[in-house]
Amino acid sequence: MEHWADTGTVDGRLAQLRADFPARIRWTEVREQDPEAFRSAARGALLLPLAILATVAWTSLTVEIPVAVTLPGWIDGLRGLLVVALLFTALLLWIFAVALLSLPADTRRAIAIRRFGDRHGLAFQRLGAAPPPTGILFAEGPVATPSARRRGTRTGRLQPTVTSRFRAEFALTDGGTFGDPGLQLAVATYTGGKNDPKGPRGAFRYLATRMPRPLPHLMIDSLRNGRLRAVLPGTQRLSLEGDVDRHFAVYVPAGYERDALQLLTPDVLVCLLDHGRRWDVEVVEDRVFVASTRSRRRSDRTEIPALLRFAELIGAELGHQASTYTDPRAREPRTQVAAAGRRLRRRSGVWVAMAIAAAVAAMLAFPHVLGWVLDNT
């Protein structure tokens, strides 16, 4: 599949892609493909009554719904421990039951996506290569270590120093290698720890494709699915003419506003407005990431073809601008981006923590201050 090729009219091409997506997968096919899925679902069904029983026992002990439970005196002293144990037991039973029950549907989904991929020369992996921890969408975090800066000086790209914090499921890929595909369309699920950097979303569908060369970091935030004001300072927002500002918030590194205008030509903006206004688009290094909030199974038939069509269109338009882009600030302008343009500056979490601490302190001090004022007036 050629990423940059224009293949006919927009509506006709998209209609063709959607028509190629299987409308229905029979359960007999699922049973032939993965007989173990139904046996696992049966085990999940057996766990459901236990999950319900544990949940009812927990609610009866905590809020006396549906019944009030009176414990013997020698057990009542352990009520707190029993409540916690029942809560975790109920949660685990529900998680395992739902996971097992969903296996046949997951197999059915995999068959449909694989069949669509085969029709268009795309390889399918149930668990694909994890997306690189670069940029905002994939929770990069601070990676500009001295060694990374030295490597970036030589190659024009900052190499990530941590493993991916996301898992790629139901992945379609084309080109490159398994660990570094030229194009990948998958569902990303956050797998990082509680202390790891977080992205704007914990789960989303994404498209990743490559540009001819590294580009400045750009974030094109669709206003239809929430804004990134909590992540990116407003001083980096670039105002564009026409309808763009009504549908997108565009962020660029300080000093790279002209570069962004050179890349986001009217043709690119028309492509975004006509075909990508409900998605977030991030350009980081030589990759373009497109993120969709519609990641569930019921949206596969509409989102997968639409994202592939968008990859063809934005690849042709933005890829052409990237092939002629140069960064005069870089040591090698034709192949590198200077350090100032490689990453957008993010809001510091320190100020957020200080604001929360100040608000809590004000709430705690208010009764004392009010009492002092009343006593002295």
**Whole-angstrom Cα distance, residue 243 to residue 15?**
26
Are 122 and 129 in contact by the 8 Å Cβ rule? The answer is: no
Are 111 and 30 in contact by the 8 Å Cβ rule? The answer is: yes
pLDDT at 164: 86
pLDDT at 343: 94
pLDDT at 6: 44
The CA-based angle 225-126-13, given to 5 degrees, is 60
CA distances 7 to 12, 41, 142, Å, are 9, 43, 40
Closest CA to 203 of 296, 112, 125: 296
Please state whether beta strands 248-251 and 181-190 pair in parallel, antiparallel, or not at all (unpaired).
unpaired
**Whole-angstrom Cα distance, residue 8 to residue 175?**
22
Contacts of 335 (CB under 8 A, 6+ apart): 156, 213, 214
CA distances 256 to 159, 319, 320, 330, Å, are 21, 18, 19, 12
pLDDT at 250: 95
CA contacts within 13 A on the Cβ side of 199: 25
Paired tokens of 124: 């399918």
69: left (phi over 0), alpha (psi -120 to 50) or beta: beta
pLDDT at 335: 93
pLDDT in 10s for each residue of the chain, 377 residues = 444 444 444 468 999 999 999 989 999 999 998 989 999 999 999 999 999 999 999 998 888 788 777 767 667 667 778 888 999 999 999 999 999 999 999 999 999 999 999 999 999 999 999 998 999 999 887 654 434 444 444 444 445 456 889 999 999 999 888 788 999 999 999 998 888 888 888 899 999 999 999 999 999 999 988 778 778 888 899 998 778 999 999 999 999 999 999 999 999 999 999 999 999 999 999 999 999 999 999 999 999 999 999 999 999 999 999 999 999 999 999 999 999 999 999 876 545 555 566 766 766 666 667 666 766 76
Instruction: Kindly report whether the global pTM for this prediction surpasses the value 0.85.
Output: no
**b (16+ CB within 10 A) / e for 35-74:** eebeebbeebeebeeebeebbbbbbebeeeeeeeeeeeee
Question: Which segments within 95-154 are labelled E, that is strand?
Answer: 123-128
How far does the chain reach from its first CA to its final CA, in angstroms? 80
pLDDT at 247: 92
**Whole-angstrom Cα distance, residue 229 to residue 209?**
26
Paired tokens of 310: 């968008």
Closest CA to 117 of 267, 253, 1, 280: 1
pLDDT at 48: 94
Closest CA to 307 of 183, 164, 181: 183
pLDDT at 374: 66
CA distances 228 to 199, 225, 254, 257, 352, Å, are 10, 10, 17, 19, 15
pLDDT at 17: 93
